[in-house]
């Protein structure tokens, strides 16, 4: 009988601990000024993924053009949406023709762009060999990479990460997919196999990604 009570007592203790853990992690309201509250507020103000839009493209263009002024700023900070909208919707126009619901995000030193596309824009699922059997004719595609200026007026978006649906594409296949994607746009000499061309104003000398923003620097002559 005592063993039974001991077992029941242990069960009650375990249930009590589980309830306490659930309340603390799910139901407890963070107090004002606490790290949890501030983190939640920051996340609400700065969404991880931002949709590309013409409005963001216009803001990005204005920020970039401000660098052309002799008495203007020497650098301009753009959000992920402003930079991606300006680069992909206005300047380079390198997104696949079938791309829909395009969004951008900055993670570390990389810009990420994701959208829903017809896989025929990448040469079809056959470009992935046996991996393509896991995909349909249309799926979400994520591209992640850095921005590299090649010379005044020309840069490239160097794609290092590609994910189609839930499938992470092996690094060795990335150049093949990006090459197929570039067939839909203007061919620009000197671009890396895994690079998408970015025709930029000649007064832009460098582009850096970090701290949730993209910073463009103008040439100082």
Whether 148 has a pLDDT exceeding 70, the answer reads yes
70-79: buried (b, 16+ CB within 10 Å) or exposed (e) per residue?
Answer: eeeeeebebb
Q: Which helix (H) or strand (E) holds 2?
A: helix 2-22
The more confident residue out of 111 and 135 is 111
Rounded (5°) CA angle 211-30-213: 10
Structural domain that includes position 119: 50-218
pLDDT tens-place string over residues 87-125: 877 665 667 777 788 899 999 999 999 988 887 766 665
Start-to-end Cα distance in the chain: 90
DSSP annotation string for 11-36: HHHHHHHHHHHHIIIIIPPPPTTSHH
Question: How far apart are alpha carbons 134 and 165 in whole angstroms?
Answer: 9
| CB atoms inside a 10 Å sphere around CB 104 | 25
In a domain, 23, yes or no: no
Instruction: Answer whether residue 47 shows pLDDT above 60.
Output: no
Going from the C-alpha of 221 to that of each of 70, 204, 206, 215, the distances in angstroms are: 10, 12, 14, 19
pLDDT confidence band for 178 (50 / 70 / 90): confident
**Is 31 within a domain?**
no
8-17, 67-76, 133-142: which has the minimum mean pLDDT?
8-17
Q: Is residue 16 in some structural domain?
A: no
Residue 59 lies in a domain: yes
Would you give the distance in Å from CA 187 to the centre of its chain? 24
Residue 78 domain flag:
yes
Share the mean pLDDT of the chain: 75
pTM over 0.85: no
At residue 219, the pLDDT reads 87
Q: How many CB atoms lie within 10 A of CB 51?
A: 14
**Helix (H, G, I), strand (E, B), or coil: what is residue 136?**
coil
131 domain residue, yes or no: yes
Q: Is residue 79 over pLDDT 80? A: yes
What is the predicted pLDDT for the residue at 132? 59
Categorize the per-residue pLDDT at 42 as very low, low, confident or very high, splitting at 50, 70 and 90: very low
Q: Is the pLDDT of residue 142 over 70?
A: yes
Query: Which pLDDT score, from 0 to 100, does residue 23 have?
Result: 40
Which of 181, 178, 197 is closest to 189 using CA atoms? 197
Phi/psi-derived region of residue 211, left when phi > 0, alpha when psi is between -120 and 50, beta in every other case: left
CA 218 and chain centroid, separation: 24
Tokens at residue 213, please? 């923003």
Helical (H) or strand (E) element with 174: helix 174-182
**118 vs 218, residue with greater confidence:** 218
Q: Considering its fold, how many domains does the chain have in total?
A: 1
Is residue 41 included in any domain, yes or no?
Answer: no
Sheet containing 75-78, strands listed edge to edge, beginning at the edge strand earlier in sequence: 75-78, 213-218, 204-210
- Whether 77 maps to a domain, the answer reads yes
**CB-based contact 65:73 (threshold 8 Å):** no
């Amino acid at each position: 009988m005592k063993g039974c009570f001991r077992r029941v007592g242990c069960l009650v203790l375990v249930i009590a601990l589980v309830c306490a853990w659930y309340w603390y992690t799910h139901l407890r309201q963070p107090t004002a000024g606490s790290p949890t509250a501030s983190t939640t507020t920051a996340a609400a103000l700065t969404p991880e993924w931002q949709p590309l839009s013409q409005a963001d493209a216009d803001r990005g263009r204005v920020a970039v053009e401000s660098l052309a002024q002799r008495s203007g700023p020497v650098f301009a900070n753009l959000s992920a949406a402003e930079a991606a909208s300006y680069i992909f919707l206005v300047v380079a126009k390198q997104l696949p023709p079938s791309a829909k619901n395009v969004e951008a995000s900055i993670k570390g030193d990389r810009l990420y762009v994701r959208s829903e596309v017809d896989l025929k824009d990448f040469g079809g699922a056959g470009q992935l060999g046996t991996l393509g059997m896991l995909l349909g004719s249309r799926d979400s595609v994520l591209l992640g990479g850095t921005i590299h200026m090649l010379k005044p007026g020309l840069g490239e978006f160097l794609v290092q990460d590609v994910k189609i649906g839930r499938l992470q594409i092996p690094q060795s296949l990335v150049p093949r997919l990006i090459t197929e994607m570039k067939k839909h746009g203007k061919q620009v000499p000197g671009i890396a196999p895994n690079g998408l061309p970015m025709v930029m104003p000649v007064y832009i000398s460098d582009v850096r990604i970090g701290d949730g923003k993209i910073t463009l620097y103008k040439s100082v002559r």
